[in-house]
Structure 1
Amino acid sequence: MAHVLVIGASQGIGLETVRAALAAGHRVRAFARSAHRIALSDPNLERFSGDALNGSDVAAALDGVDAVVQALGVPVRDLLGPVRLFSDATGLLVPAMEKAGVRRLVAVTGFGAGDSRDAISPLQRLPFRLVFGRAYDDKDAQEMRIRRSRLDWTLVRPGVLTGGRATGRYRVLDKPSSWRNGLIARADVAHFLVGQIEDASRIGKAVVLIERALPL
Structure 2
Amino acid sequence: MKLLILGATGPTGRHVLDLAVRSGDSVTAFVRNPAALGDLAEQVATVTGDATSHRDLAAAAAGHDAIVSALGRGSSVRADGLFTRASAAVIGAAAEAGVSRLVWLSSFGVGHTFGWSSGAQKLIYGTLLRSIYADKAIADESIRSSGLDWTVVYPTRLTHGPAKGAYRADDRLPMKGNPTISRADVAAFMHSAAQGSEWIHRTAVISD
* Smaller-chain TM-score bracket: over 0.9
For residue 207 of structure 1, what is the aligned residue in structure 2?
204
Q: Quick check: 1:161 aligned with 2:165? A: no
Structure 1 residue ranges, 4+ long, deviating more than 4 angstroms after superposition: none
Percent of residue pairs bearing the same amino acid type = 34
Partners of 2:82 and 2:146 lie apart in 1 by 18
For residue 62 of structure 2, what is the aligned residue in structure 1?
63
> Which one-letter code corresponds to 1:6 in the other structure?
I
Q: Quick check: 1:195 aligned with 2:192? A: yes
Q: TM-score, normalised by structure 1?
A: 0.90
Aligned counterpart in structure 2 of residue 125 of structure 1, from 122, 126, 130: 122
What is the DSSP-based 3-state SS (H/G/I as helix, E as strand, rest coil) of the residue aligned with 2:150?
Answer: strand
Cα distance, 1:120–1:141 mapped onto 2, change above 3 Å: same
> Which one-letter code corresponds to 1:20 in the other structure?
L
Q: Quick check: 1:75 aligned with 2:74? A: yes
What is the DSSP-based 3-state SS (H/G/I as helix, E as strand, rest coil) of the residue aligned with 1:73?
Answer: coil
* 8 Å CA contact retained: 1:31, 1:47: yes
| Residue 173 (structure 1) shift | 2.3
Partners of 1:39 and 1:4 lie apart in 2 by 19
Cα distance, 1:91–1:170 mapped onto 2, change above 3 Å: same
Deviations 1:159-213 (A, max 9, x none): 1111132110111122x3x2435211111111111101121011100011111xx
What is the DSSP-based 3-state SS (H/G/I as helix, E as strand, rest coil) of the residue aligned with 1:38?
Answer: helix
After TM superposition, the structure 1 = structure 2 runs for residues 1-216 of structure 1, keeping only pairs within 5 Å, are: 2-41=1-40, 44-77=43-76, 79=77, 81=78, 83-174=80-171, 176=172, 178-180=173-175, 182-211=179-208
Partners of 1:153 and 1:27 lie apart in 2 by 20
* 8 Å CA contact retained: 2:58, 2:93: yes
